[in-house]
Amino acid sequence: MWKVDYPYWDDTYHTFCHVLTQMDAETADSVLLDEMVYLIARDNEAEGFIQETISHPDWFERLCCHAAASNENEVQWQFTAGITRGVML
């Protein structure tokens, strides 16, 4: 996993989680949503970002809709798997 060698991966993960807990999903603009979708897509092996997102239904719904319109194939299947694991929108 390349992320293990990325020196700021843990900081990035903690910042992502901070956004989920401290910001209302409805106030997120497209730039923030793009960045969050990008990070979820990059974390397609460990799936830590999508797991955190699943625990925040408002964010899951908002990011799922945004991911559906993106070209990030690696993020689309993660949201599909999240839905099939019982996350209801």
Q: pLDDT tens track of the chain, all 89 residues?
A: 555 578 898 999 999 999 999 999 999 999 999 999 999 999 988 899 999 999 999 999 999 999 999 998 889 889 988 887 755 44
Q: 80 lies in a domain?
A: yes
Residue 51's domain spans which residues? 7-84
Report pLDDT for 89.
45
Q: 76 lies in a domain?
A: yes
CA distance 28 to 5: 29
Report pLDDT for 84.
76
Report pLDDT for 28.
98
This prediction's pTM: 0.86
Q: 24 lies in a domain?
A: yes
Q: 51 lies in a domain?
A: yes
Total number of domains constituting the chain: 1
The torsion angle over the Cα atoms of residues 65, 47, 32 and 61, rounded to 10 degrees, is 30
CA distance 64 to 77: 10
The separation between CA 47 and the C-alpha centre of its own chain, rounded to angstroms, equals 9
Q: 2 lies in a domain?
A: no
